[in-house]
Amino acid sequence: SAAAKQNYPMAQYNLALMLGIGRGGGRDETSMVTWLTRAAESGYDRAAAQLGRLYYEGLGVERNTATAARWFRGAALQGHAEAQYYLGSLMQKGEGIPRNLEQAHQWLEKAADQGHGPAAYQLGLTYEMGLGVAANAGRSLHYYRRAAEADHAQAMERLVQLYESGGMGVAPDPGMAQLWRLRLASQKAD
């Protein structure tokens, strides 16, 4: 608390998290948001990303996707993978921010390049459906595999479907379907 009051962004962020879960006392969402905001305004990317999620989901604050996008952008510009994913997703939908499929794609790629499974899965969908890019089965499969390797359950399910029945240039392969099915079951058991 003393370090947070002395404007150390990481301490402010940690204090906010403790207030949010009620560690050391009761939960205090108002103070949590205040400390997260102070840390984010000081340029702490994790605080900005967390604040973006709070505004996106309406947790402790009124849901506001425009404010969420602003905080996500700040963290994304600093290389925060989850913020890049959320910013790309919001841009893809035009939710809280003008729709821009090209920039959305770039942000999703940056997140996926850092091993962010949901971003890789979103890119798999993007290439499968041709959303702002030319539909490309090979690229789609590439991103589904990357997402699955990052333990993304929906990507694993998609690979099971593709290997069971074929499609998108994939020949049916019962062995690969079983491999991904087992990995998915193992993940769900954890």
* Contact call for residues 139 and 127 (beta carbons, < 8 A): yes
Please give the average per-residue pLDDT across 70-98, as a whole number. Answer: 98
Between CA 158 and CA 155 the distance in angstroms is 5
Work out the mean pLDDT of the chain and round it to a whole number: 93
* Contact call for residues 180 and 163 (beta carbons, < 8 A): yes
Please give the average per-residue pLDDT across 174-184, as a whole number. Answer: 96
Look up residue 134 and give its amino acid.
A
Q: Which residues contact 42 (CB under 8 A, 6 or more apart)?
A: 7, 9, 12
Give me the pLDDT at residue 167, please. Answer: 87
Token pair 């205090």 is at which residue? Answer: 28
Q: How far is CA 39 from CA 16, 34, 47, 106, 151, in A?
A: 9, 9, 6, 27, 31
Q: In this predicted model, which residue has the larger pLDDT, 155 or 26? A: 155
Helix, strand, coil distribution of the chain in percent, nearest 5: 70, 0, 25
Between CA 45 and CA 8 the distance in angstroms is 13
Instruction: Phi first, then psi: give them for residue 47, nearest 5 degrees.
Output: -70, -45
Beta strands in the chain (DSSP E): none
What confidence tier does 182 reach under pLDDT thresholds 50, 70, 90? very high
H or E element, residue 39: helix 29-41
What confidence tier does 140 reach under pLDDT thresholds 50, 70, 90? very high
Domain borders along the chain are 1-114, 118-190
Q: Which CATH class is domain 1-114?
A: mainly alpha
**Within 10 Å of residue 72's Cβ, how many Cβ atoms?**
32
Question: ∠35-38-43 over CA atoms, to 5°?
Answer: 130
State whether residue 167 is helix, strand or coil. Answer: strand
